[in-house]
């Protein structure tokens, strides 16, 4: 049975986190506020014309956007999902296929077009049954893209092996995408968003991708959605529905704040709104919270676009030239590489995510009762 902990200090603290509208990207805590040269001029300002809404939620998004002070129109966002067909731990009794089907159901309900699922073929070696999840994705009309064969760290395997990982993922992509033009699935998402630990490795990967006809699926909205899946599985094991609700609120609030951060940073960096790319992962908690997240984004004025449409924005034709052993979204790379001013980062609530539903923690909290 769920534990009753609503009056505990523990939950008061968690609710404070859940209610916090913290602007900021991912789990990377950036160095101090940067100052330096003015924003990098990339292209002339363009304003996207409103497009006829495809659903009631889209209509709400467009009308809210029109009402937002200072907003020239909806925030255009392409949804992308990484690590197909398996990401993170899964609560007992939940299949990978069911997780994918939940994603697909929510995308249909929100009329989200062309959601790329970025694939690691190695995952089928241990779980060939998960091929059904990939087939369901394609059957629903969404494409797959390349996320390397086994999701390696570049600095651990070296450049040559890394390039081989890109090629080794292709046979399964080709098989699953059937008659689709190669160009459809030759879209690459960097594992961990790491594009190169130095300029030679960064340039070599880019040259390999370009030489093989790939487009790069950059990311501009990354709120470390993956980090919610582990605590969710713990809470499911404990059947702590109350904690899961807290987790859901925190997820939506942090995701919303990251959207706001990315929209503001893009306007500051490029002098205009850009077409965004949202990074998600195919985890069990993501599936559970996806409908709430997309609804929250629509209330912020988001209009869903395809990745093809997002990548048509000229900002994606530029190379930030950023190198590091850690991964960052394109907007974070831009602000770091050019020391450009941006709204302050707010770090991921890692402490909350680390301790939630851990028996050793709840046992030490006044007022908390163990399940
Ligand atoms: Zn990944």
362 pLDDT tier (thresholds 50, 70, 90): low
- Residue 229: partners with Cβ closer than 8 Å, 6 or more residues away: 87, 88, 89, 281, 283, 284, 285, 286
- Residue 208: partners with Cβ closer than 8 Å, 6 or more residues away: 163, 166
> Is 208 inside any structural domain?
yes
Convert 288-331 into a string of H (helix), E (strand) and C (coil). HHHHHHHHHHHHCCEEECCHHHHHCCHHHHCCCCCCCCCCCCHH
Task: Answer yes or no: are the C-beta atoms of 220 and 262 closer than 8 Å.
Answer: yes
For 305, left (φ over 0), alpha (ψ -120 to 50), or beta? beta
Q: How far apart (Å, rounded) are the C-alpha atoms in residues 247 and 238?
A: 14
> Is 59 inside any structural domain?
no
Q: Give bridge partners of residue 33 from the DSSP assignment.
A: none
Q: What is the pLDDT of residue 242?
A: 94
How close is the Cα of 110 to the center of ligand 1, in Å?
24
Q: pLDDT by residue (tens digit) across 230-285?
A: 999 999 999 999 999 999 999 999 999 999 999 999 999 999 999 999 999 999 99
Q: What is the pLDDT of residue 72?
A: 60
Q: What is the pLDDT of residue 82?
A: 98
Q: Residue 152 maps to which CATH number? A: 3.20.20.370
Q: How far apart (Å, rounded) are the C-alpha atoms in residues 275 and 90?
A: 33
Q: Under DSSP, is residue 117 helix (H, G, I), strand (E, B) or coil? A: strand
Cis peptide before 365 (omega within 30 of 0): no
Say whether pLDDT at 33 is over 70: no
Q: What is the pLDDT of residue 359?
A: 82
Q: pLDDT by residue (tens digit) across 142-190?
A: 999 999 999 999 999 999 999 999 999 999 999 999 888 999 999 999 9
> Is 19 inside any structural domain?
no
How close is the Cα of 212 to the center of ligand 1, in Å?
21
Tally of domains within the chain:
1
Say whether pLDDT at 45 is over 80: no
How close is the Cα of 63 to the center of ligand 1, in Å?
34
pTM tops 0.85? no
Q: pLDDT by residue (tens digit) across 301-358?
A: 999 999 999 999 999 998 888 888 788 999 999 888 888 889 988 788 888 899 999 9
Q: pLDDT by residue (tens digit) across 111-143?
A: 999 999 999 999 999 999 999 999 999 999 999
How close is the Cα of 72 to the center of ligand 1, in Å?
33
> Is 41 inside any structural domain?
no
Q: How far apart (Å, rounded) are the C-alpha atoms in residues 13 and 297?
A: 25
- Residue 160: partners with Cβ closer than 8 Å, 6 or more residues away: none
Q: How far is CA 233 from CA 91, 247, 282, 284, in A?
A: 5, 11, 14, 8
Q: What is the pLDDT of residue 119?
A: 98
How close is the Cα of 327 to the center of ligand 1, in Å?
11
> Is 225 inside any structural domain?
yes
Domain that holds residue 81: 74-362
> Is 311 inside any structural domain?
yes
Task: Answer yes or no: are the C-beta atoms of 273 and 73 closer than 8 Å.
Answer: yes
Q: What is the pLDDT of residue 336?
A: 86
> Is 15 inside any structural domain?
no
> Is 40 inside any structural domain?
no
How close is the Cα of 36 to the center of ligand 1, in Å?
32
How close is the Cα of 188 to the center of ligand 1, in Å?
11
How close is the Cα of 83 to the center of ligand 1, in Å?
5
Q: pLDDT by residue (tens digit) across 200-227?
A: 999 999 999 999 999 999 999 999 999 9
Q: What is the pLDDT of residue 357?
A: 94
Q: How far apart (Å, rounded) are the C-alpha atoms in residues 201 and 206?
A: 9
**DSSP alpha helix (H) spans, the chain:** 9-19, 56-67, 96-109, 123-126, 131-139, 154-157, 159-168, 170-177, 182-185, 199-211, 229-237, 241-270, 284-299, 307-311, 330-337, 350-355, 359-362
Widest CA span in the chain: 61
How close is the Cα of 54 to the center of ligand 1, in Å?
30
Q: Do you know the residue count of the chain? A: 371
For strands 302-304 and 276-281, give the pairing: unpaired
pLDDT (average), residues 95-121:
98
């Amino acid at each position: 049975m769920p534990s009753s902990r609503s009056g505990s200090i523990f939950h008061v603290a968690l609710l404070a986190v859940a209610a916090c509208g913290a602007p900021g990207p991912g789990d990377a805590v950036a160095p101090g506020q940067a100052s330096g040269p003015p924003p990098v001029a990339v292209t002339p300002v363009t304003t996207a014309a409103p497009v006829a809404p495809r659903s009631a939620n889209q209509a709400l998004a467009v009308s809210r956007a029109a009402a937002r002070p200072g907003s020239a129109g909806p925030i255009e966002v392409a949804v992308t999902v990484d690590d197909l067909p398996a990401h993170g731990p899964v609560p007992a009794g939940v299949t990978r296929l069911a997780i994918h089907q939940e994603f697909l159901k929510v995308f249909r309900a929100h009329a989200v077009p062309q959601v790329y699922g970025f694939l690691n073929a190695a995952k089928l070696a241990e779980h060939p049954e998960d091929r059904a999840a990939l087939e369901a994705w394609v059957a629903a009309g969404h494409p797959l893209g390349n996320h390397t064969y086994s999701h390696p760290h570049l600095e651990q395997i070296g450049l040559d092996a890394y390039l081989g990982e890109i090629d080794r993922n292709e046979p399964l992509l080709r098989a699953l995408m059937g008659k689709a033009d190669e160009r459809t699935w030759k879209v690459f998402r960097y594992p961990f968003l790491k594009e190169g630990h130095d300029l030679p490795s960064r340039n070599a990967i880019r040259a390999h991708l370009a030489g093989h006809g790939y487009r790069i699926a950059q990311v501009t909205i990354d709120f470390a959605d993956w980090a919610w899946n582990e605590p969710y599985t713990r809470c499911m094991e404990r059947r702590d529905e109350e904690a899961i609700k807290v987790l859901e609120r925190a997820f939506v609030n942090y995701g919303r704040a990251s959207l706001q951060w990315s929209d503001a940073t893009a306007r500051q960096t490029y002098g205009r709104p850009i077409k965004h790319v949202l990074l998600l992962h195919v985890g069990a908690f993501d599936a559970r919270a996806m409908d709430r997240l997309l609804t929250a984004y629509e209330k912020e004025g988001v209009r869903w676009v395809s990745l093809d449409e997002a990548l048509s924005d000229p900002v994606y034709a530029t190379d930030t030239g950023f190198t590091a052993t850690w991964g960052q979204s394109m907007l974070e790379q831009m602000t770091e590489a050019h020391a450009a001013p941006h709204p302050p980062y707010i770090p991921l609530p890692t402490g909350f995510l680390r301790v939630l539903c851990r028996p050793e923690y709840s046992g030490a909290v006044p007022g908390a009762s163990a399940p």
